[in-house]
Amino acid sequence: MPNTSSDKTFHKKDFRLMLIILFMMEFARGMYILSYLPILPTTTAKVTVGITSLAISLHFISDALTNFVIGFLLKRFGPTVILTCGFILAFSSLALIIFIPSPIVFILSAILLGIAVSPIWVIMLSSVDEASRGKQMGYVYFSWLVGLLSGMIFMNLLFKLHPTRFTFMMALCVLIAWILFYFVKVQLTNYESKSVKKQLREIVQVTRRHLLLFPGIFLQGSAIGMLVPILPTYATKHMGVTTLEYTLLLIVGGIGCTISMLFFSKLMDKHSKAFTHLVIFVGFLAYSSFIFGLTILTQLFIVLLIALLIGTIYGLLLPAWNTFMAGQIHNKVQEETWGVFNSVQGFGTMIGPVLGGLISEVFRDVYYTIYASSIMFLFLALFYGTFFIINYRKRKSA
């Protein structure tokens, strides 16, 4: 059985193991949600695009809804019980696909997997060392991103070999993560049993206390999500790049993000809050400019450079934004607060693609979706830039 403690930070060994566990779970999620389900309609007439789209949407909805209450459940029942239940749900859902490959099972598995991955994220976010939050969060986001993308790529390759023979690999990844969990000392801020009424009241209190952060949490996910359904069309039809060149753009952006997360994110720990605030302001402003720049600049080399810069800035912005959010959270309610934050971000990420597709349909042009995404980031830059300046002046005059 894994040990538990009220000291909230991980030891180095435990942190590394939790990174591997997070990677394996996201690897399994990338295999199923980003690869297996989207490709499935191309191999069988029994499963339509509508069914897989519904399954993917319900996965993210279940993830977002679970995040609202998972922090309270962790405090009430402890991480061992909750994480074990999560692993059971994830393993069972992906094992069902092997034996009962039907549309209902695909949808049910997606929902259960969304519930299962939630507690791992909340524990990771609430248990990093404050003295090295930027560096550790860079590693956390790196494990998440690489896990998702490598899982998707790996499943794509397996699908080409055989569409059903290797489905057991998804459940196997969860099983490996489950076994590793029993070598980790899991830690929370404290343990407290609360009634449902008190939990709901605290969710409302957390929401009111952190309303200032909600525009940044929600709109980041929405602004990026808006681009997901239109980027392939925009790249191939408006920029004139091939599918291979578009893939190269994504790889270059991913390389920039990876380098930034692994090597530059630690800068947040070595500099003052003012530096973190500057990174957030410049990051939002740069995102707005670069996204808008995609509508003007179409030369492949320049677009590759923009993709590299966007990825690099994203790898800096995520730890900086996380450090800023962490500074606003009360120590005794870390798990609950991070759960609410993740839920708000999840809803933003869900709404983004729908909104992006709707804008492009209404205006009959993908440019307007790009403009809308750029404007959102510009608003965030101005909103938080103004907030930082006002706070700085207040502290200076105090």
Count other Cβ atoms within 10 Å, centred on residue 396: 7
CB-based contact 347:218 (threshold 8 Å): yes
- What's the pLDDT tens digit per position in 13-33? 888 899 999 999 999 999 998
Residue 91's pLDDT band (cuts 50, 70, 90): very high
Own/partner contacts of 10-16, CB < 8 Å, gap of 24 or more, are 10/127, 10/128, 10/129, 10/185, 10/187, 11/185, 14/184, 14/185, 14/186, 14/187, 15/128, 15/136
- pLDDT reported for residue 6: 43
Q: pLDDT digit string (tens) for 337-394?
A: 888 888 888 888 888 878 888 888 888 888 898 999 999 999 999 999 999 999 888 8
In the block, tokens 């609430």 appear at: 126
If you average pLDDT over residues 331-336, what whole number do you get? Answer: 73
Residue 221 has pLDDT above 80, yes or no: yes
In this predicted structure, what is the pLDDT of residue 344? Answer: 86
| pLDDT score for 26 | 95
Q: Which stretch of 24-38, 168-182, 244-258 has the lowest confidence by average pLDDT? A: 244-258
Give the pLDDT band (50/70/90) at residue 45: low
Separation of alpha carbons 339 and 54, rounded Å: 24
Give the mean pLDDT of the chain. Answer: 83
Rounded percentage of the chain residues whose pLDDT exceeds 90: 26
Select from 134, 140, 388 the least CA-distant residue to 268: 134
Task: Find the mean pLDDT for residues 174-184.
Answer: 93
The residue assigned the tokens 């753009």 is 249
The three-point CA angle 365-235-260 to 5° equals 120
Contacts of 132 by beta carbon, 8 Å cutoff, 6+ apart: 266, 269
Structural domains of the chain ordered from first start: 4-186 (1.20.1250.20), 205-397 (1.20.1250.20)
Burial class (CB in 10 A: 0-12, 13-18, 19+), 116: buried
pLDDT: which is higher, 307 or 24: 24
Question: How far apart are the C-alpha atoms of 50 and 247, rounded to whole Å?
Answer: 25
Tell me what pLDDT residue 20 has: 94
- Give the DSSP per-residue string, 350-386: HHHHHHHHHHHHHHT-THHHHHHHHHHHHHHHHHHHH
What pTM was computed for the model? 0.76
More confident residue, 56 or 377: 377
Strand, coil or helix: 9: coil
Each residue of 95-130: pLDDT tens digit? 999 999 899 999 999 999 999 998 888 888 777 776
More confident residue, 137 or 84: 84
Sign for the pseudo-dihedral over CA of 204, 319, 133, 118: positive
Residue 62 pLDDT exceeds 60:
yes
Q: Find, among 331, 111, 333, the residue nearest to 202 by Cα.
A: 333
Amino acid at 171: A
Q: What is the DSSP string of 17-63?
A: HHHHHHHHHHHHHIIIIIIIHHHGGGT-TTS-HHHHHHHHHHHHHHH
